[in-house]
Amino acid sequence: MAELKVSVVAADQEVWSGAASMVVARTTEGEIGILPGHEPMLAILAKGEVRLTVVGGGSVSANAEDGFLSVSQDVVTIVARNASLVGS
């Protein structure tokens, strides 16, 4: 099955990167879910949690603030000035 290559990046470091089967994020327009094969997109993130469903089970959540989300050819990049993982 196709998977998403996700990286969560803060201004001074890479917070998380890996493969995920689904990404749920909150944009200024509302929540958005991204599955493999999503069309290329650039969206502004609202303050909130980004939830990743990791390939092979489990999930990761990260707080992202002041950033945006880009999707292109199953590569998802969540870029935020402040981003941190929520206690795993």
Partner 1 sequence: MGAQLRVYTQKIKSAQTTKKITRAMELISASRIQKAQQRVAASGPYSRAVTQAVSAVATFSNVDHILTTEPEKVERAAVVIFASDRGLAGAFSSSALKAAEELASLLRSEGKEVVYYLVGRKAVSYFAFRRRAAEESWTGETDQPTFETAKAIGDAVVARFLQPASEGGVDEIHIVYNRFVSMVSQVPEVVRLLPLEVVEGVEEPGDHDLLPLYEFEPDVGLVLDSLLPVYIESRIFNAMLQSAASEHAARQKAMKSASDNADKLIRDFTRLRNNARQSEITQQIAEIVGGADALSSSKK
Q: Which residues bind partner 1 (CB under 8 A)?
A: 7, 9-14, 27-29, 32, 39-44, 67-68, 70, 72-73, 77, 79, 81
Asked whether 39 and 74 are in contact (CB, 8 A), the reply is no
* Closer to partner 1 by Cβ: residue 57 or 80: 80
Choice between 2 and 39, CB closer to partner 1: 39
Report the C-alpha gap between 81 and 55 in whole angstroms. 26
CA distance linking residue 63 with residue 37, whole number of Å: 25
Nearer to partner 1 (CB atom), residue 59 or residue 70: 70
Please name every residue paired with 24 in a beta bridge, in sequence order, or none if there are none: 33, 51
CB of 86 to partner 1, least distance (A): 20
